[in-house]
Structure 1
């Protein structure tokens, strides 16, 4: 299988991520040679679409766990020393850090959801806000770099990480739009849109994550790291005053419990949170598999086409690869009512136990909570499977990233990688 058929579209020159595990594994093998000092020196530069082989471009596959962080780290450390690849390894851990940080502060997610819902409803009552918002998301602000990124995001489902930071800063401090609406715009259109990474990153730019510390987009920095493609001199706010921060409390994570496969036949449930069932190392194969292909709505506003298509196909492909791995015939359901789909499936296969990978905080967890409640009413037991990598990382993400950063070598040793 060639890179073109799995990874890019030659007609547009823009990347197109294939929602297949083999495509993610192929991209790992292509990128790993550059994961050392080359990545460290070039990672902040965004030279434009189809010119980004200096960064991994693996985030969509990692987001849906089509490939795992452990698989990626294993490949990197087989090629590079820890010292040479330290910067890239740290970037891999940022995603797990944000998930763990949010798991300790579930109220942050709830406040964001309440805030963005209120902002969206307010658009209908504030003509000025609606005008400015629509100009921003349609790429009509007159700030060339910002407008380019807005259009690139909608057209491709992706932005370089540095462009995401610049975009968020301009949105908040130059355009003075609510950060929640910007986070929602990203969440609806980024193929790799993750509740924790997206929410926490926008909060970080706004001075809410590390309280009082904001990120200011500067014209000279944009010019330098876009190789001169853009220079919004005189168009950007010269200051980035932090937004008012709320008091947060830390919720201890529940103690990890060992999970054993049930003795009786059980069903494996696949959601968009984990789409590689063959790597779960289950002690016993499931009797059947159900993939819930209805994309989780991330907002009151429409989900981006790239996100919807990738999510649906990733789950379908996961059911197929899982069926092949376990020697069974799985099935999918596009029923938006996950509770009804789950109960119907269990009834049809006479299942009393369902195994599913535990999702991080976000809309998928909310849908599964409703499905689990319905399952209990029908005497169906839900068993959540915790991923070993998450169990190692999340508890160490109580505060700032630096605390986790110091523990990375220890985690890699526990994983048997160094």
Structure 2
């Protein structure tokens, strides 16, 4: 969280070797641990100067969540586009072959194949590896970005609609328009400690993103949907989802909670099958939240 994080955060050491980063993202994503808690811990342990980079990275998640909340049409567009991309897979045998090879760790690029295997086996990828993977998927392999984002979303334990979708859009040059992320051979070699040494010719030089596919640009801001507090003294049901498992911060005082239920929704991340570890992690988070709330939910 301090200087060690700042100096080592860009290095992807491989499965089980992510020592310079917190790997807390699956818990933060469900608010089992909050952004405020990890920021406070970093500041207390290391001070504002040494903890600055860690705090900045935590804030990125908050930024993406707020950005997408004000532009829900970006999420709707992603889901509609994904349906179209999946339909194209059924029609185009070559596209199906190439996508399957990339997801199965058989693209022919050692770094991509290792990252695909790590993602499926562990439910995690280092942030730098996520950027490289997305860039190579889009620009070198020439595959639809939404299919790559869906691959991540189905397997990442920390899979978050905002961070995942907007992260892929950023790499593609759709979020920061006209500024796609270029995975470069020297960068991969340096920050994987020479675990992977692709040739420059293995990777396409990225000179233009996908912004031409969205000629209307970014959508306008929408107003936040107003939330109305439950009425006191009326029978109230508590519905727990893994979007917020911090039940201690629920203001239930004055409410008559007559029932509770957990709503598991991770299987709805994609039209395709979501990885079993993602579903299991969600189930554990919901059970933990229900126990701390002191309720026996109807699942």
Instruction: Bin the TM-score by the shorter chain.
Output: over 0.9
Note the residue ranges of structure 1 that are not aligned, 5 or more in a row.
Answer: 1-34, 324-328, 334-418
SS of structure 2 residue aligned to 1:332: coil
1:281 is displaced (CA, Å) by: 4.4
SS of 1:50's equivalent in the other structure is coil
Q: CA deviation at 1:157?
A: 0.5
- Matched residues in 1 for 2:4 and 2:228: separation? 40
1:276 aligns to 2:276 (yes or no) = no
TM-score (normalizing by structure 1): 0.67
Structure 1 residues 301 and 222: CA distance shift in structure 2, 3 A: same
Change (3 A) 1:321 1:175: same
Query: How far has the Cα of 1:255 moved from its partner?
Result: 7.4
* Structure 1 Cα separation of the partners of residues 187 and 229 of structure 2: 49
SS of 1:289's partner is strand
Task: Please show how residues 246-285 of structure 1 align to structure 2 within 5 Å.
Answer: 246=215, 247-254=217-224, 259=229, 262-284=232-254
Distance 2:150 2:181 in 1: 19
Aligned partners of 2:298 and 2:145: how far apart in 1?
Answer: 36
Task: Specify the alignment match of 2:151 in structure 1.
Answer: 185
- Once the two structures are superposed, the pairs formed by residues 125-204 of structure 1 within 5 Å of their partners are 125-204=91-170
Q: 2:79 aligns with which of 113, 137, 150?
A: 113
The 2-side partners of 1:291 and 1:144 are apart by: 42
Q: TM-score, normalised by structure 2?
A: 0.93
2:142, 2:70 → 1: CA distance? 30
Task: Report whether the alignment pairs 1:209 with 2:180.
Answer: no
The runs of 4+ residues in structure 1 deviating greater than 4 Å are 255-258
Asked if structure 2 preserves the Cα contact closer than 8 Å seen for 1:215 and 1:240, the reply is no
Q: What is the DSSP-based 3-state SS (H/G/I as helix, E as strand, rest coil) of the residue aligned with 2:298?
A: strand
Report the counterpart of residue 208 of structure 2 in structure 1: 241
| Distance 1:257-1:303 versus aligned 2 partners, 3 A rule | closer
Counterpart contact for 1:316–1:332, Cα < 8 Å: no
1:288 Cα deviation (Å)? Answer: 3.3
Trace 1:288-303 onto structure 2 (pairs within 5 A).
288-293=259-264, 295-303=266-274
Q: Is the 8 A contact 1:173 1:240 kept in 2?
A: no
Q: What's the counterpart of residue 311 of structure 1?
A: 282
Q: CA deviation at 1:213?
A: 0.1
Match of 1:44 in 2: 10
Please give the per-residue CA displacement for 1:328-366, whole angstroms capped at 9, x wherever unaligned. Answer: x42132xxxxxxxxxxxxxxxxxxxxxxxxxxxxxxxxx
Cα pair 2:267 2:273 within 8 Å, conserved? no
The structure 2 residue matched to 1:61, chosen from 23, 27, 33, is 27
Cα offset for 1:50? 1.5
Task: State the 1:239 CA deviation.
Answer: 2.5
* Distance verdict in 2 for CA 1:168–1:240, change over 3 Å: farther
Secondary structure of 1:123's partner?
helix
Give the C-alpha shift of residue 64 in structure 1.
1.0
Rounded Cα–Cα distance in structure 2 between residues aligned with 1:255 and 1:331: 28
Please name the residue that 1:4 is paired with: none
